[in-house]
């Protein structure tokens, strides 16, 4: 039998069990420290060496690179291993889907990756650990070793546009899938949020797993409010068994 294509849009909520705080929830980073938003805003970052220095210190203390996949990430990878066609579209930059065992080619990182750095001048890339080692060694704003340009995390900052190729692939998957599960996303940040609507418009079964209401709840076939760490493994099991398709 033909297994349905399952698209999973994951937001910050899927990674909170791994110790990575979300941004917009009740205890989110932006609510606790509105100034922190400047550290990931392209215009401020490029124009102010002090913002860059603070950004590098924030990255140095960031737990993202030390986080481990949790039960939800493992359940998604398990569904793919069971032979169900799965594509992950993630708003997260933590790389935990891949660490959990999802093949990198089946994961679309809409907002880039915190595990790499990129030069804003020559586009040279490398592992974030290499740049952080230079910060640890005393460089407070390490320049590009190739061209001397400004380095940044290979994530999409506020004020930067998403990679049109990655976004195009995400739209195509949203149109083609039979099941679309939005998990741990507020579904408030466009264009990622709009993918849920695109999937529903093209006949996909829309399932939303999130602690708080989202703008797309009224379009969903199922809304799940229980904790992601238990809800997603159950949903993945049902899909693996051929239910909910």
Considering only CA atoms, give the Rg of the chain: 18
Q: Contact 54/33 with Cβ under 8 angstroms?
A: no
Q: How far apart are CA 106 and CA 60, in angstroms?
A: 29
Please give the backbone phi and psi of residue 31, each rounded to the nearest 5 degrees, phi first. Answer: -75, -35
Distances (CA, A) of 183 to 12, 80, 214, 240: 9, 17, 11, 17
Give 66-106 as a DSSP string.
G----HHHHHHHHHHHTT--EEEEES--S-HHHHTT--GGG
Catalytic (active-site) positions:
111
Q: How far apart are CA 127 and CA 57, in angstroms?
A: 17
Supply 59's token pair.
């990255």
Q: Contact 149/142 with Cβ under 8 angstroms?
A: no
């Amino acid at each position: 039998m033909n297994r349905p294509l399952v698209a999973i849009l994951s937001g910050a909520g899927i990674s909170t069990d791994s110790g990575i705080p979300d941004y917009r929830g009740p205890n989110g980073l932006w609510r606790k420290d509105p100034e922190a938003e400047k550290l990931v805003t392209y215009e401020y970052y490029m124009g102010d060496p002090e913002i860059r220095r603070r950004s590098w210190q924030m990255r140095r203390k960031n737990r993202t690179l030390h986080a481990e996949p949790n039960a939800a990430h493992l359940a998604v990878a398990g569904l793919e291993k069971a032979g169900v066609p799965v594509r992950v579209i993630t708003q997260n930059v933590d790389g935990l889907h891949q660490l959990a065992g999802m093949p990198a080619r089946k994961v679309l990182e809409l907002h880039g990756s915190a595990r790499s750095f990129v030069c804003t001048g020559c586009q040279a890339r490398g592992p974030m650990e290499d740049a952080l080692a230079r910060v640890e060694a005393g460089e407070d704003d390490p320049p590009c070793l190739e061209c001397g340009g400004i380095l940044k995390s290979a994530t999409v900052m506020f004020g930067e546009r998403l990679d049109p190729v990655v976004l195009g692939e995400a739209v195509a998957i949203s149109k083609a899938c039979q099941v679309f599960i939005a998990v741990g996303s507020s579904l408030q940040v466009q264009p990622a949020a709009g993918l849920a609507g695109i999937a529903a418009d093209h006949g996909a079964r829309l399932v939303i797993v999130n602690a708080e209401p989202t703008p797309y709840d009224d379009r969903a076939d199922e809304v799940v409010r229980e904790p992601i760490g238990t809800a997603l493994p159950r949903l993945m099991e049902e899909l693996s068994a051929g239910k909910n398709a």
